[in-house]
Chain A
Amino acid sequence: MNAAEPRSADLRQFISGNEAIAQAARDAGVKVAAAYPGTPSTEILEYVSQYPDIYSEWSINEKVSLEVAIGASMAGSRALCAMKHVGMNVASDAFMTQTLVGAVGGLVIVVADDVGLSSSQNEQDSRYWGRFAHLPILEPSDAQEAYEMTRAAYGISEQFEVPVIVRLTTRICHVKGVVINSEAEAHTGTGFKKDPARFVMVPGNAKNRIPMMMARDETLKSFAADTELNRIDTGSDTRVGFVTSGAAYYHVKESFPDAPVFKLGFSHPAPIESIRSFAGDVEKLVVVEEVEPLLETELRAAGVDVYGKDLLPKIGELSPSVITPPVSKLIGEAIAESELIPTAQVFPRPPTMCVACPHLGIYYCLSHVKNTIISGDIGCYTLGAGHPWNALDTTISMGASLSVAQGLDKGRAECDENKNVLAVIGDSTFLHMGMQGLLDITYNKGNVTILLLDNRAVGMTGGQDAPSSGLNLHGEQTMQVDFRKLCEALGVKPERIHEVNPYEMPILFKALRQEVKVPEPSVIITNQPCVLTERYSKLPPLKVDADKCTGCSNCLDVGCPAILVDRRETVVKPNGKEKELAFVSIDTAACTGCNLCTKPCAPDAIIPAYNVTKIDAVEIK
């Protein structure tokens, strides 16, 4: 542990890759930035929103955000669009045609891959989009490079009139490191210049743009061979060399600090001939890339002899401990005997709903309705698939709960005749891509009971605003969607729309039981705010009267993390059957008095923790 020489700390910032991207947008003179929240990219727009010179917005979904950025680029200004990897699937319709139009003002699309699925429904390698759409991919390896490459991306985008993808992974977005900014530049918009042959992509015009895109590929290949974004780290130990990009670069440096490394910052189109020449300088060449063998396949096709996914995993994050053993073996180096402390087996700690979350009451009710098929969606409420509720049967993609429910209804087999098909979706997800599914259900006379959980926030990503909150990205007042009117406009009969306080479980139960019996679409809107947002008001906490608790454990079915089991007992009932009892207490410091657990408590053992005269039901705002 050697103390480093103190350096001038003035210019050194300690920031994440996401914040570095935002600063780069600011310093590149970006005029418009748009995104829909999604882990791990969410914070990019949150940081951008602090810069008054940039117009920034939470868009309705990723396709809309990209189209907003496209418009700004066509207007001759610099634009940024940020999204997580699955967002790119939504945006791809616009994306695949915009590559023909190209960029006027610099157009940079930041795509963040959740490698290792910390908070996603799948794992995707967004570098494929560069191949698919014939455009450049830049891959920073840390926050400093995220800053520098985003700055460089604007130059490339304008020089070659091409949208540029800056591809991040979680280990770039959320890793903080030392970042030094370079001088900011002013960008003057060139204005919108009518050019229908370029901007109106009807077949006749688009046909002419395709050869131009192919020609652009060749120009970009030449650029890749010369750019400083690609470089070679010379090394003294030439038994093995590496070709790598992104977060993997630093894992390679950590594992084999003396090996030569071809570091790709501009990773597509790759400088194949330069890599071929590099291959000649090392005994063995290993491609280390997250996650799929893209570069490896291209190098093999070009006749360059490489190792890659034959040694390394094709899924999940790489790390020094993943890379070191197989590569050491490859070069015949003994792997150091590890004397690791044995890993202890500890219970899993899956994410769960928050204390007093309004979804708790909804899932308690759903878990007590019989004969259901419950089609779920993307958000905190996806956690309803877990214990103790087990009340969610499908999750696919944003908005799919409704359309999948329509298919479950129409495709039901005879044995499912008596099943009730339900869909559960949150406010923001409904506005993102769920409205279309509801219209499909009403238009095609489906029979689905829809629970629209309006907590007025994008909860899972940290409570961001959306048109359901009445506030924009900057916290300013704006229109607020009226879900009742919206559902009505989408074809749901007014008498089939109910607005319910999810903390009032008997009313919610009644609405659910009534609507599943009606053979037409109905919507139950719940109307209490996310507990992570300022709209939520805490109430005085509760405690358990230990003398009254019978150990029935009904309260545990609510699933609130503030309810703890103090002791368990097994008793034999008069009929000879054994019954497990669980005597509980409430973590009063965590409890915010939502009262949900008092509803199923048969002996009324849950009481105010402190001497207050009355606990009101949660007030409706």
Chain B
Amino acid sequence: MNNEVTNILVVGIGGQGVMTAADILATSALSLGYDVKKTEVAGMAQRGGVVTSHVRFGPKVYSPAIQAGDADLMLAFEPAEALRWASHLKDNGLAMVNTFAQEPPVVSIGLFDYPDEPIEKMRKMGVETHDYNAGQSAIDLGDRRLVNSIMLGAISDRLPFPAGTIENSLTARFKNKGEALLALNHQAFELGRKAFS
């Protein structure tokens, strides 16, 4: 398949900001003149279901969906979701994982088990995995939605363009939402950059 296209998979659960993060990645690539496609299945996304967003960019992108074994990068907002989608990565693919676990009710009521040591399992599978508890850091910063900017910081130095491009897109997104929120998002972004490096 087309080797000139960069494939980024963003995974998590409904309400975590997966689609926003993917949007910021996509608009960053767009601002550099790339052809870009972004897709997700989001019908019931607000109901705590799995959300996966595919971002593909390059000189020309055909199919919007990333096939198993084709992802260059995975940005995972939840460790069990990272494990679920690990097989979408290329051999030399890279995973950035928020280790803040979120158990669904089917686990709480005892129908299924949450996987033990999901990060270790991914490493045993041969996936280069970088991990950090972005969820806890976001809560400590005052808003769990900041996980989004932390994770964007995490991936910003691994893209075929400078981290500043992502930061500019982030500014564009939050510029009308007040100085305080913008500053907080930049703080989260920098935290992610350092924590995952």
Interface residues of A (CB under 8 A from B): 1-7, 9, 12, 14, 39-40, 114, 116, 118-120, 142, 170-171, 174-178, 247, 250-251, 253-255, 257, 319-321, 338-344, 346-354, 380, 383, 387-388, 460, 462, 532, 553, 556, 559-561, 563-565, 568, 580, 582, 584, 589
Contacts and interface: CB of A to CB of B under 8 A. Distances in A.
Interface residues of B, number: 69
Nearest to B112: A347
Contacts of A257: 2, 62
Interface string B73-106: 0000000110110110101000000000001111
B42 interface: yes
Contacts of B35: 4, 178
A105 B80 CA distance: 53
A344 B58 contact: no
Contacts of B84: 344, 346
B110 A320 contact: no
Given A347-B106, A347-B112, A253 B64 contact: no
Contact of A346 (B46, B80, B105, B126): B80
Given A118-B41, A175-B39, A568 B110 contact: yes
A178 B127 CA distance: 32
Nearest to B67: A321
Contacts of A582: 108, 110
A344 B74 CA distance: 15
A253 B63 contact: yes
Given A1-B4, A347-B104, A565-B110, A341 B89 contact: yes
Contact of A561 (B6, B27, B38, B104): B104
Given A39-B43, A344-B115, A563 B108 contact: yes
A253 B86 CA distance: 26
B67 A319 contact: yes
A564 B108 contact: yes
A346 B64 contact: no
A9 B30 contact: yes
Interface of B: 1-2, 4, 6, 13-14, 23, 26-27, 30-44, 46-50, 58-59, 61-65, 67-69, 72, 80-81, 83-84, 86-87, 89, 91, 103-115, 121, 125-127, 139, 144, 160-161
A320 B91 CA distance: 19
B63 A254 contact: yes
A410 to B, nearest CB: 34
A290 B108 CA distance: 38
A174 B84 CA distance: 23
Contact of A352 (B37, B65, B104): B104
B13 to A, nearest CB: 6
B69 to A, nearest CB: 5
A251 B103 CA distance: 35
Given A119-B44, A388-B109, A5 B37 contact: no
Contacts of B114: 347
A24 to B, nearest CB: 19
Interface core residue of B13, B49, B113, B139 (most chain A CB under 10 Å): B49
Contacts of A460: 44
A387 B26 contact: no
Contacts of B89: 341
A349 B36 CA distance: 29
A354 B127 CA distance: 33
Contacts of B4: 1-2
Nearest to B80: A346
A250 B33 contact: no
Given A341-B69, A383-B47, A178 B36 contact: yes
B105 A3 contact: no
24 contacts: A3-B32, A4-B58, A4-B59, A118-B42, A142-B64, A170-B41, A175-B37, A175-B64, A176-B36, A177-B38, A247-B64, A254-B2, A255-B1, A319-B65, A319-B67, A340-B68, A344-B83, A344-B87, A346-B80, A347-B80, A347-B106, A351-B49, A553-B109, A565-B108
Nearest to B59: A4
A1 B6 contact: yes
B180 to A, nearest CB: 19
B110 A6 contact: no
Given A2-B4, A118-B43, A176 B14 contact: no
A2 B58 contact: yes
Contacts of B106: 347-350, 387
B104 to A, nearest CB: 5
B33 A6 contact: yes
A343 B161 CA distance: 30
A344 B106 CA distance: 18
Contacts of A580: 110
A383 B44 CA distance: 11
Contact of B26 (A14, A114, A174): A14
Contacts of A177: 36-38, 61, 64
A176 B23 CA distance: 9
A177 B27 CA distance: 10
A223 to B, nearest CB: 28
B112 A119 contact: no
Contacts of B109: 387-388, 553, 556, 565
Contact of B43 (A4, A40, A178, A343): A40
B151 to A, nearest CB: 18
Contact of A340 (B6, B43, B81, B87): B87
A560 B105 CA distance: 7
Nearest to A557: B109
Contacts of B48: 349, 351-352, 354, 561
Interface core residue of A142, A321, A462, A582 (most chain B CB under 10 Å): A321
A590 B191 CA distance: 23
A1 B14 contact: no
Contact of A350 (B33, B49, B64, B65): B49
A563 B34 CA distance: 44
B87 A341 contact: yes
A4 B106 CA distance: 46
Contacts of B40: 174
Interface core residue of A176, A351, A353 (most chain B CB under 10 Å): A176
Contacts of B26: 14, 176
A12 B80 contact: no
Nearest to A340: B69
Contacts of B68: 321, 340, 343
Task: List the 4 shortest-distance A-B pairs measured between CB atoms, nearest first.
Answer: A119-B43, A351-B47, A347-B112, A351-B44
Contacts of A532: 46
Contacts of A119: 43-44
A300 to B, nearest CB: 27
Contact of B86 (A12, A174, A344): A344
Contacts of A247: 64
A485 B6 CA distance: 58
A1 B36 contact: no
B83 A171 contact: no
